[in-house]
Chain A
Amino acid sequence: MIEVQGVTFSYPGTTVPALENISLIIKPGEFLAITGPNGSGKSTLARLLNGLLRPGEGRVLVDGLDTGDEASLVDIRRRVGMVFQDPDNQLVAATVEDDVAFGLENLGLPPAEIRQRVAAALEVVELANLRTRPPHRLSGGQKQRLALAGVLAMEPRYLVLDEATAMLDPVAREEILQKVLELRREKGLAVILITHLMEEAALAERVLVLKAGQILLAGPPAEVMQQEEKLAAAGLKVPVTVALGKGLRQAGLKLPANLVTVEEMARALWKLASRK
């Protein structure tokens, strides 16, 4: 469990806090989406979860370990893995497999286990065939998968994806998210998805919307996505399926208001069609 308790955080030299009095609990195995406009504090919150940033006020506990406690940081970062939007800053080695092995070598694992974990992680992200390629000769999407492999090899309990798929093409984005959700099902990995794509946030169990460093909305996607006005005021758009549902209801169709995904909308429409 990650507990964020009354956290306020300000960047040095600024007067307005980037996050103000945030409290939040992330359960093991949960799929949480954090959304909000640029500058709302999403990435700051992400970086607080593994101690890359420490709270000014309040505290963050990862499975009971305080991120403010220097001695716990190594353990905390093994538990909370993080992949960022720009993978270039995360890639360090001369070949794909060395890059994945890098973090593991720092853990002091035996070579046989390192080899096994590297192979498994590259299998998951489907880069096994490129394992001897230098990272700078990969496409943007491949680099992003490599960064993910490096984090997965550490076998974290919580995976934070900070706009990690923003530069990918739609199919690659969907594939990576599917892979991650598969691991969640198999291993109980918690997934914290930072995104400003509402269609993507809608896939989570719970959505947290930040605005100007504060929690604007929190709840299941079907509830949060109904708050069109609040979301619009925060510079966010409801998924286009929600907007379509509204248009159809105004035209007289008896559709429920909690339809968010394409599949839900299709199912509800067929229900209406079958009553005719």
Chain B
Amino acid sequence: MEIGLQEVSFAYQVAGRQLPVLENINLKVSPGDFLAITGAGGSGKSTLAMLMAGLLEPTAGRVTLDGQPARGRGKGKGLAPWQRVGMVFQQPEQQLFAETVAEDVAFGPRNLGLGGARLEARVKAALRAVGLDPQTVGGRSPFTLSGGQQRRVAIAGILAMEPEVLILDEPTAGLDPAGREQVVNVIRAFYRRPGKAVVLISHNMAEVAELAREVIVLHRGRVALQGTPRDIFRQGEALRSYGLIPPPLTSLMQVLRRQGAPVPLDVLTLAEARDAILAWLGV
């Protein structure tokens, strides 16, 4: 499944006035892609995610699925192509509602018409995919779980629909380091499967550095920067004007470089930072 956006703009109507949110966005997500969309609060990230998931329709321009123009979900020719695009909203655990974890996860695939053993198999596979044991957790109330577990249940609900493209809006925000790592592992495992693509909306630059192959930086509704994580971090201080702060290691390199040390700016890992510093100090 390939999602394409061509010259897409979007505006909200507020009290009779147009409030532009996105302007002239062009992008494509194909199988095997891992795209991170980042930018300041209010830069249009979440709106872009909703457009890519068919939950909003553009005010101008067009959205295509496998090259075919696509109306929003539930409009035009029905749901079918959009079923292959899964969207995990911000703090999705707030939308858990069923009495048991298994029922919550079953809700989506049941709406697709699945039932009986096939439905049960889907639910179990989805729970295992997020690192939860269907036997011990499936029958519990979601509200007895920790925040991190609840979030993984919500993600399992989307995985149970077997999407080809998974769009996640700030999936680790508000989680502690252990919970964060578990969610990151779920995303990684999904991405490793053949034919899958991930779109990650995040302002956590360490996470973007760690996961994404391609990064888009939005600024006031437009694409300000696009490239690999290394390309983006090489921008140094310019990132700040887009509401972003590079991960601490990159910040350290920027400070050292500003003060005259010949160290690279596009450092992504602890080992790279250590080696760069040792090389500078001649150790």
A243 contacts the other chain (CB 8 A) = yes
Name B's A-contacting residues (CB within 8 A).
Answer: 12, 14, 19, 39-42, 90-91, 146-148, 170, 173-179, 203-206, 240, 243-245, 247-249, 251-252, 255-256, 259, 261, 270-271, 273-274, 277-278, 280-283
- Contact A169–B177 (Cβ < 8 Å): no
- Contact A251–B249 (Cβ < 8 Å): no
Count of chain A to chain B residue pairs whose CB atoms are closer than 8 Å in the complex: 120
- Contact A140–B245 (Cβ < 8 Å): no
Kindly state the separation between the CA atoms of A168 and B280 in the bound complex, as whole angstroms: 35
Find B41's partner among A36, A139, A199, A265 (CB 8 Å cutoff). A139
- Contact B282–A37 (Cβ < 8 Å): no
Find A253's partner among B12, B247, B256, B281 (CB 8 Å cutoff). B281
- Contact A139–B176 (Cβ < 8 Å): no
Q: Which residues of B contact A38 (CB under 8 A)?
A: 146-148, 175-176, 179
A219 contacts the other chain (CB 8 A) = no
- Contact B252–A262 (Cβ < 8 Å): yes
Residue of B nearest to A140 (CB): B41
Expressed in whole angstroms, the minimum distance between the Cβ of A111 and any Cβ of chain B is 26
Find A171's partner among B175, B244, B248 (CB 8 Å cutoff). B244
Kindly state the separation between the CA atoms of A121 and B90 in the bound complex, as whole angstroms: 28
Q: Which residues of B contact A272 (CB under 8 A)?
A: 281
Q: Which residues of B contact A166 (CB under 8 A)?
A: 173-174
- Contact B42–A141 (Cβ < 8 Å): yes
- Contact A251–B283 (Cβ < 8 Å): yes
- Contact B41–A172 (Cβ < 8 Å): yes
- Contact A241–B248 (Cβ < 8 Å): yes
Residue of B nearest to A132 (CB): B15
- Contact A266–B249 (Cβ < 8 Å): no
- Contact A244–B283 (Cβ < 8 Å): no
Expressed in whole angstroms, the minimum distance between the Cβ of B67 and any Cβ of chain A is 33
Find B176's partner among A236, A239, A262 (CB 8 Å cutoff). A236
Q: Top 9 closest A-B pairs, CB basis?
A: A141-B41, A235-B178, A139-B42, A170-B245, A169-B203, A196-B176, A37-B176, A266-B255, A171-B243
Kindly state the separation between the CA atoms of A207 and B187 in the bound complex, as whole angstroms: 32
Kindly state the separation between the CA atoms of A236 and B175 in the bound complex, as whole angstroms: 11
Q: Which residues of B contact A170 (CB under 8 A)?
A: 203-205, 243-245
- Contact B146–A276 (Cβ < 8 Å): no
Q: Which residues of B contact A37 (CB under 8 A)?
A: 176-179
Residue of A nearest to B170 (CB): A167
Residue-wise, chain A 251-270 has the 8 Å CB interface mask toward B (1 for contact) of: 11100000000110110011
- Contact A85–B270 (Cβ < 8 Å): no
A240 contacts the other chain (CB 8 A) = yes
- Contact B252–A248 (Cβ < 8 Å): no
Residue of A nearest to B178 (CB): A235
Q: A167-B90, A169-B39, A244-B273 in contact; A199/B281 too (CB < 8 A)?
A: no
Q: A37-B176, A167-B170, A262-B252 in contact; A269/B277 too (CB < 8 A)?
A: yes
Q: A171-B40, A235-B176, A253-B283 in contact; A273/B261 too (CB < 8 A)?
A: yes
